[in-house]
C-alpha cells in the first residue's frame, strides 16, 4: 500500500460524556509507535500492559507476556504497521490498556488521506474530555472518584484530592500540550512499556 495518512478516532469505551481524540498518523506507522501515540494523546502514563484486537485475534509485543507465565495466543506486533490491520475507511480495531482496570478503546479509521511531506506526523486534530488517571479502578472507579470529588464533605474526599494532586478537572483538554508531546522523538512516552 502506498504511504497515506490515516485520520483515526480513539474513543474510550463505556463513559459519558465521550472521552476521545482525533489524530493523523502515517499508514506505515509501527504498532509499537501507535501504542505510544495513543498513550500520549489520551493522557495515560504507559504503566501497564496493552493489546490491540481485531475480530478474535489479539496483537501485542510478545515480550510483555514472556515473563508472566501466561499461555496466551497473542500475535507479536513487532514489525506490523497500522495498515496491516486497518485497510479501509470506517474499519475498526480495539485497544485495551491495563488489564486490571480494563480501559478499552475503539480505534476507527475515519479517513484515508494523501501523504503530505510538509506536515509533521503524528498530529492530534481534536478531542474532548480528560483521560481518567491510571489505577483509579476502571470506568466504575473513575465514576465513583468524580462523584466523591464533587462532595468536599465525603469521607474519601481528602484522600482522592491528594491522590489526583490537589485538583482534577474532567473536562480539561489541551491540544497544544498533546501536540508538543507528540513532536518529541518518542511521542512523549516516558514510562516502563515504551
Q: How many CB atoms neighbour CB 138 within 10 A?
A: 17
Q: 3-class DSSP state for residue 79?
A: coil
> Residue 65 pLDDT > 90, yes or no?
no
Task: Tell me the C-alpha distance between 53 and 13, whole Å.
Answer: 14
Helices (H) and strands (E) in the chain, counts: 5, 8
Average pLDDT over residues 70-87: 87
Residues 6+ apart with CB under 8 A from 84: none
Main-chain dihedrals φ then ψ at residue 144, nearest 5 degrees: -60, -45
In the 8-state DSSP scheme, what is residue 62?
Answer: T
Residue percentage of the chain with pLDDT more than 90? 78
Of the listed ranges 104-108, 134-138, 185-189, the one predicted with least confidence: 185-189
> Residue 71 pLDDT > 80, yes or no?
no
In this structure, are residues 160 and 149 in contact, taking their beta carbons and an 8 Å threshold? yes
- Domains present along the chain, CATH in parentheses: 4-129+173-182 (3.10.290.30), 132-170 (no CATH)
> Residue 119 pLDDT > 70, yes or no?
yes
> Residue 183 pLDDT > 80, yes or no?
yes
96 versus 189: which is more confidently predicted? 96
Please give the grid coordinates belonging to residue 57: 485475534
pLDDT at 193: 47
Instruction: State the pLDDT confidence band at 64, using cuts at 50, 70 and 90.
Output: low
Average pLDDT over residues 142-149: 96
| Measured torsion, CA atoms of residues 113, 119, 125, 131, in degrees rounded to the nearest 10 | 110
pLDDT at 186: 67
The model scores a pTM over 0.75 = yes
Kindly tell me the sign of the dihedral angle through the C-alpha atoms of 179, 32, 21, 141. negative
Task: Tell me the C-alpha distance between 1 and 32, whole Å.
Answer: 19
Please give the grid coordinates belonging to residue 19: 472521552
pLDDT at 192: 45
Please give the grid coordinates belonging to residue 129: 474530555
Average pLDDT over residues 31-60: 94
Task: Tell me the C-alpha distance between 64 and 76, whole Å.
Answer: 10
Average pLDDT over residues 162-177: 93
pLDDT at 62: 74
Going by their DSSP bridges, the two strands 103-114 and 57-60 should be labelled as: unpaired
Q: 3-class DSSP state for residue 97?
A: strand
Amino acid at each position: 500500500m502506498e504511504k497515506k495518512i490515516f485520520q483515526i478516532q480513539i474513543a474510550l469505551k463505556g463513559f459519558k460524556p465521550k472521552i476521545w481524540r482525533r489524530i493523523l498518523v502515517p499508514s506505515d506507522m509501527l504498532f509499537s509507535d501507535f501504542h505510544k501515540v495513543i498513550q500520549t494523546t489520551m493522557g495515560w502514563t504507559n504503566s501497564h500492559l496493552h493489546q490491540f484486537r481485531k475480530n478474535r485475534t489479539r496483537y501485542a509485543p510478545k515480550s510483555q507476556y514472556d515473563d508472566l507465565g501466561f499461555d496466551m495466543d497473542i500475535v507479536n506486533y513487532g514489525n506490523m504497521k497500522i495498515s496491516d490491520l486497518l485497510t479501509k475507511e470506517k474499519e475498526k480495531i480495539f485497544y485495551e490498556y491495563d488489564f486490571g482496570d480494563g480501559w478499552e478503546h475503539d480505534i476507527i479509521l475515519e479517513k484515508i488521506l494523501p501523504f503530505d511531506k510538509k506536515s509533521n506526523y503524528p498530529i492530534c486534530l481534536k478531542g474532548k474530555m480528560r483521560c481518567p488517571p491510571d489505577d483509579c479502578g476502571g470506568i466504575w472507579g473513575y465514576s465513583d472518584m468524580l462523584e466523591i470529588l464533587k462532595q468536599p464533605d465525603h469521607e474519601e474526599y481528602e484522600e482522592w484530592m491528594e491522590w489526583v494532586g490537589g485538583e482534577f478537572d474532567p473536562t480539561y483538554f489541551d491540544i497544544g500540550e498533546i501536540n508538543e508531546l507528540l513532536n518529541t522523538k518518542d511521542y512523549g512516552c516516558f514510562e516502563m512499556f515504551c
